[in-house]
Amino acid sequence: MTHVRARLDDHHHRRQDAERGRLTHELFRRVAEADGVERRQLLDEVVLLHLGLAEAIAKRYYRRSLENDDILQVANLGLVNAATRFDPEVGKDFVSFAVPTIAGEIKRHFRDHGWAVRPPRRVQELQAALTTATAEIAQANGATPTNADLAEHLHVDVADVREARASHDCFTAASIDYRGDTDETSLAESLGADDTAYEQSEAAVALGPACRELAERDRRILYLRFFRGWTQEEIGRDLGVTQMQVSRLLNRILRRLRSKIGALEPASGG
């Protein structure tokens, strides 16, 4: 019975995603023809359709010294900015543009309010440039840019890009290595190397095509773990397997997704 419910839930969420995508496309078509109050109202509808996306991204940054409600508000602001700046003529997928824009807004907030040790000004300025460049390249190419892509776009060294990304760990309290109240795998351990962990988590949210290639149960596991915030033990009970089996399944799923998006860059490639 549990498996049947899981399949029905998964099917329901996929239908919701498809309908949301269709509505978003139609809204932006109308935005292009509107102005003034009507345009603002249409953009507000886009924002309302994607509040769940903003919340999912915000949750990745919870428990890091700032209040969760503050982080969620910043994520929602990033969503509003994404809707305002999105150009359907440049890229087809709003989510691919919104994800790095929302996360970038949160990172700026942490940079301004959450540093344990403030990095050099040049690093802070490069971080701001990286946030904008990541959103622009993601919209144009439909994929999260690599360090090399960003370095070329901004005319800087790849080493400088790595340094700016690595400094995201300089928060007052817990970082991406935070494990929560249990000894579960941290997000950094789940998604890869330190300097790309944030970008990989963002890519995971926007990995619609790759996720659709996964088996139904694998999609269910990803949804419960990263979007509902369930523990491995809770997922195991839902699926009728052990926590250890869930851990192995998650590792296999994440390896497959990394291979799809090239999330782990070769050292020589930036």
Q: For 41-85, how does the pLDDT look when each residue is reduced to its tens digit (9 = 90+)?
A: 898 889 988 988 999 998 887 765 557 778 888 899 999 999 999
Is 12 contained in some domain?
no
> Given this model, what pLDDT does residue 226 score?
63
Is 3 contained in some domain?
no
Mean pLDDT of the region 74-100: 87
Q: Global pTM?
A: 0.46
Helices then strands, counting H and E runs in the chain, come out as 14, 0
Q: Is the pLDDT of residue 154 over 90?
A: yes
Is 57 contained in some domain?
yes
Phi and psi angles of residue 146, each rounded to the nearest 5 degrees, phi first: -85, 170
> Given this model, what pLDDT does residue 247 score?
85
Highest mean pLDDT pick, 7-21, 170-184, 188-202 = 7-21
> Given this model, what pLDDT does residue 114 score?
57
Please choose, from the candidates 3, 115, 12, 95, the residue with its C-alpha nearest in 3D space to the C-alpha of residue 54.
Answer: 95
Is 184 contained in some domain?
yes
Where are the alpha helices (H) located in 86-157, listed in sequence order?
94-113, 121-141, 147-154
Q: Could you tell me the residue range of the domain that residue 145 belongs to?
A: 24-269
Is 10 contained in some domain?
no
What total of structural domains would you count in the chain? 1
Alpha-carbon distance of 269 to 259, in angstroms, equals 16
pLDDT-derived band of residue 10, with 50, 70 and 90 as boundaries? low
